[in-house]
Amino acid sequence: MKKNIPLLFAFVVGIIVLASEFIPHRPFNSITETLQNWFMIISGFAILLGQISLVRVNVSKIRNRSRDWQFYLACLISFALMVIIGLLWGKQEARGILGQGAAITANLGSKPFDYLFDNVYIHLSATMFSLLAFFIASAAYRAFIIRSFESNLLMITGVIVILGRTSMGSMLTGWLPARLHFLHLPVLTDFIMQYPNSAAQRAIMISAALGILGSSLRIILGIERSYLGSDK
Amino acid sequence: MSVNQNTQTERRLIFLLLFIAVLVPLIFPIGWKTEVSPHAKMAYDMIDSKPEGSVAILSFDYEPSTMTELQPMATAIIEHAWSKGHKIIATALWPQGPQVADLAFKEMAAKFPDKVYGEDYVNLGYKPGGMVTIQAMGKSLKDVYPLDINGKKYDDLPIFKNIRALRDVTYAASLSSGVPGIKEWIMVAHDVHSVPVTGGTTAVSAPGFLPYINNQNQLYGLLGGLKAASEYEIMIGTVGPATVKMDAQSIAHLLILIFILVGNIKAWRIRHKPKQQAGTE
Amino acid sequence: MTLTAVFGKPISHVAQHADAAETMIAFVNRICRRIGILRYKKYEVIMRICSLLAILMVLAFPLPALDAPSGTFTIEDVPWDNGMKLLLKWNLSAGFDSLQILTPDSLGVFQSIQIDNRSTGDQIMANLEPNQDYTYRLEAYNRSTGERYALQATGKPLEGWFYLGKLSYLIMLLLISGAILYYIFSARRGKELFIRRISGLDSMEEAIGRATEKGKPILFVPGISDLEDIQTIAALTILSHLAYRAAEYDTSLIVPCRFSMVLSAAREVVREAYMKAGKPDAYREDMVFYLTDDQFGFVAGIDGIMVREQPAANFFLGSFYAESLILAETGFSTGAIQTAGTAQAHQLPFFVVSCDYTLIGEELFAASAYLSKDPQQLGSLKGHDFGKLLVILLILTGIGFEIAGISWFRTFFEGVR
């Protein structure tokens, strides 16, 4: 019973959503939107579940003095700080419990929440994303190795695209005559990105779409039950 | 997996060299010129072709983490649109979108002091729901955004005088680093309401959107990464943050090519080591 | 569909109409005089006012126009759609330089929405509200004679019961779904099905074994999308199998989640898997935990876990974006065996470079069937292959038609726009 009701629910909702894709008449044409709205409402309530989990896991790590427990403490303090100052003085134009916090805003230049957002959060976030540059460098060092026909092809293509994406690419082949313009590195890069790359992307997208279709069908028909925690 | 199992020391050395390669050109700019790519030109042409008084939606579907690549695109598009006399409605499908939109508007408002909030541009703020939100905009913009980010009423903002729904805007541009983003704007704004859509994304995500630049014009060009942002700056004739950073990116790319070369030498030596030892026995 | 053609009158003939009205009034006058009504001056004034009103009435109400242009203007509902389109058709006698289509704004004032120069043509009006009356006016203009003609009609867009524009989608869906179901039932009847090896999934046992040997945990990241993404569901189905094995081997599992909905679903999956393995006591709720909704905050959290906990095996399965390489490279630096899988084609290269095994696109969705070895599920994979074959055939046919200059095939499969 515990499994059958969700399975029945998945079947009915799946069929309705599928039908609504092809039936433009009311009520079908608004069913998907309604279900999405329900999902958003449920998600809203579920946020609390996440916050509770975050606090509980971090508190238990601190309590048990796990390795590097100070980091868990830093996480909790940061979380609490942003929530409290956001509630007390609000953010941007929105009022907080204590109003607009004119005095503190005059000192900081902006509201405490906005001040931390602009001066701490933005930079921490950008730092995380910028790690990509370092990791791409170390991954390229490891991956573009001459080994076989395919890896050579990968390396040559990689080098052309890397060069074509820089100012150097224009300079290196800028002297080529007009009839050899197709060998100009930025042009060659655009060609690689637009044709062979897009063709491969489309092939993967199409096969993934077929995978999604099969997977959805298995879920709707109740053949696939692992997502409910059991396949029995 | 590779034959090159780079050690921690190697990794740290790579990181250090890359850090220097990025830092030096930022302090001492070289001023290399970059070439405009067809996709950036397509995006530029689409915006450029729209008449004065056009109203556009610029959706800030990213967060501060990707500002380095996407913020220069935002400021360049705003500058271009404003110089053509277009009005901009800023929306956000990501929670921190309104803040980055605010930063972009503040920066550009200094360049265009005559632009009035509420008349030439407006920041509607964040709405959750992704594609559902865009679909709702297709029915009524006012229902989705009864108030702007500052709490001003929709009807009190002159920019919305002739704007009731998504179909009333001249074009839409989404700057996105994930989902929801460009794809959702294409699926609703273009495919359902026939609103021309262009956009920008991070360099790592750009290849995924290329299939949408097709003969159906689902996407009018694409700005992929910092290079495309600098190309846009070239087209609008300004030296912005992307142009300044392009030197650093070019040097970093060249350094990566050197790493690839060194990696190959190392791999070749590893592969030939046993042979040499066998030869000496 | 409602259709009312209500107005057709050359504006230049208004004077002629007024004359006709005057004539009519004069006739009424004579009758009135005859019967003695107009003996009083005030009635004369009243009659004059009446004549003026009559002229205005002629302008405001439909009357058979004198020398009316031979032309029609009709509005039809576009069938088989979502009730958001109307088809405007007009057929006017020649002799017009230009025409424009107007529609009333919120104040009822007609505003031009399109200018045309075809005497016969049609135009689709899109993005309308279903079941609402829409009025359009067609004004034709002749520069040489200075004549302007107006035709007006009203129509109502209605919702259909089938989206004809999606017929190609439906045919494809039915064909592929039919093939999947056929192979599922074939498998049920005991037909042997061959499935190629997917090394990324075969390695799962090896990874769990290695983690058990080392006494280290397994890290499983179910992507960065919410539960509405089918990739997240696919990741959870793999998590179910992995958690079962981990429970069997008594290996600890770490599952960080980006969204609360994924958290609750993943907890249920892991709890059930532990129960199935007969070790409900070994399940701890903090195995599956929430980190943050923030994309790069989530990545930073996982990186921290990898560096601190040093898991022996990392699984990155689901939907990933720009953070894929940050995760995979950090995992690589810790020396863990890494298996990744996503349908985000543009993130695959990063995983291929940094991970030991990568599930490409549909392999992620095939994983559950492959791992369960359930003939029914394996049968559905055979259906995917039929779908691929169908797509290949359609692509080749489409290319053939395009080369031959026949466009209906492409138009049909482009479907709804």
**Which residues in C lie closer than 8 A to residue A142 (C-beta atoms)?**
353
Q: What residue type is C158 in one-letter code?
A: L
**Which residues in B lie closer than 8 A to residue C325 (C-beta atoms)?**
204
Provide the 3-class DSSP secondary structure of residue C138. Answer: strand
B66 contact C CB<8A: yes
Summarised one tens digit per residue, pLDDT across range A30-46 is 887 788 778 778 877 88
C414 CB neighbour count, 10 Å cutoff: 13
Q: How far, in Å, are B70, B183, B213, B223, C12 from residue B219 at the CA level? A: 17, 9, 5, 11, 48
Instruction: Indicate the pTM of the whole model.
Output: 0.79
A51 contact C CB<8A: yes
**Which residues in C lie closer than 8 A to residue B194 (C-beta atoms)?**
126-127, 417
Q: How far is B94 from chain C (nearest CA, A)?
A: 10
Q: How far is A125 from chain B (nearest CA, A)?
A: 4
**Which residues in B lie closer than 8 A to residue A134 (C-beta atoms)?**
14-15, 18-19
Provide the 3-class DSSP secondary structure of residue C101. Answer: strand
pLDDT of residue B274: 64
pLDDT of residue B129: 75
- Residue carrying the six token digits 């999902």: A39
pLDDT of residue A1: 66
Give CA–CA dist C156/B220, Å, rounded: 33
Give CA–CA dist A93/C390, Å, rounded: 56
The tokens for A182 are 């197709």
A145 contact C CB<8A: no
Q: How far apart, in Å, do the first and last CA atoms of chain C sit?
A: 23
Q: How far is A113 from chain B (nearest CA, A)?
A: 12
Of residues C295, C293, C235, C292, the one with CA closest to residue C266: C235
Q: How far is A59 from chain B (nearest CA, A)?
A: 27
pLDDT grade for C18, boundaries at 50, 70 and 90: very low
Provide the 3-class DSSP secondary structure of residue C229. Answer: coil
Q: What residue type is B161 in one-letter code?
A: K
| DSSP, residue by residue, C19-64 | HHHHHHHHHHHHHHHHTTGGGSHHHHHHHHHHHHHHHHHHHHS--P
Contact C333 B8 (CB under 8 A): yes
pLDDT of residue C55: 55
Give CA–CA dist B77/B79, Å, rounded: 5
**Nearest chain A alpha carbon to C162:** A23
Summarised one tens digit per residue, pLDDT across range B185-242 is 998 999 888 899 999 999 888 888 888 888 778 999 999 989 999 999 999 998 888 9
**Nearest chain A alpha carbon to B68:** A126
- Residue carrying the six token digits 């991956």: A143
Contact between residue A57 and residue C256 where contact means Cβ atoms under 8 Å apart = no
- Residue carrying the six token digits 């005095």: A103
Q: What percentage of chain A carries pLDDT values higher than 90?
A: 17
Q: How far is A2 from chain B (nearest CA, A)?
A: 30
Contact C296 A224 (CB under 8 A): no
Q: What residue type is B194 in one-letter code?
A: S
Cis-peptide into B146, omega within 30 deg: no
Give CA–CA dist B219/C18, Å, rounded: 56
Question: What is the separation of C-alpha C331 from the centre of its chain, rounded to a whole number of angstroms?
Answer: 38
**Which residues in C lie closer than 8 A to residue A161 (C-beta atoms)?**
none
**Nearest chain B alpha carbon to C324:** B204
Strand partners, C290: C257
Q: Chains near A, with 3+ CB pairs < 8 A?
A: B, C
φ, ψ for residue B6, nearest 5 deg: -60, 135
Looking at the predicted structure, is the pLDDT value of residue C45 above 90?
Answer: no
DSSP state of B169: S
**Which residues in C lie closer than 8 A to residue B95 (C-beta atoms)?**
293
Would residue C129 be called left, alpha or beta, if left means φ above 0 and alpha means ψ between -120 and 50 degrees? beta
**Which residues in A lie closer than 8 A to residue B250 (C-beta atoms)?**
166-168
Give CA–CA dist C301/C304, Å, rounded: 5
Give CA–CA dist A131/C325, Å, rounded: 9
Looking at the predicted structure, is the pLDDT value of residue C66 above 90?
Answer: no
How many cross-chain Cβ pairs, B to C, lie less than 8 Å apart?
48
- What are the residue ranges of helices labelled H in B84-224? 97-111, 131-139, 141-144, 182-185, 206-209
Q: What is the mean pLDDT of residues B7-15?
A: 86
Of residues B88, B75, B73, B83, the one with CA closest to residue B118: B88
The tokens for C93 are 């006698």
- The residue among C50 and C405 whose pLDDT is bigger is C405
Indicate the residue of A33, A141, A198 with minimum beta-carbon distance to B263. A141
Q: Chains near C, with 3+ CB pairs < 8 A?
A: A, B
Residues 6+ away with beta carbon under 8 Å from C83: A24, A25, C77, C128, C130, C131, C157, C158, C159, C160
Indicate the residue of C344, C350, C417 with minimum beta-carbon distance to B208. C344
**Which residues in A lie closer than 8 A to residue C304 (C-beta atoms)?**
71
Give CA–CA dist B276/C298, Å, rounded: 48
Indicate the residue of C321, C345, C417 with minimum beta-carbon distance to B178. C321
The pLDDT mean for chain B works out to 88
pLDDT grade for B1, boundaries at 50, 70 and 90: very low
The pLDDT mean for chain C works out to 82
Residues B231, B237, B243: CA angle, nearest 5 degrees? 45
B182 contact C CB<8A: no
Summarised one tens digit per residue, pLDDT across range B31-85 is 887 888 889 999 999 999 999 999 999 999 998 888 889 999 999 999 999 999 9
How many cross-chain Cβ pairs, A to B, lie less than 8 Å apart?
152
pLDDT of residue C111: 83
Chain A neighbours among B 12-71 (CB < 8 Å)? 14-15, 18-19, 22, 32-35, 37-39, 63-68
Return the H-helix or E-strand segment holding B251: helix B241-280
Q: Chains near B, with 3+ CB pairs < 8 A?
A: A, C
Summarised one tens digit per residue, pLDDT across range C212-265 is 999 999 999 999 988 888 899 999 999 999 999 999 999 999 999 999 889 989
**Which residues in C lie closer than 8 A to residue B11 (C-beta atoms)?**
333
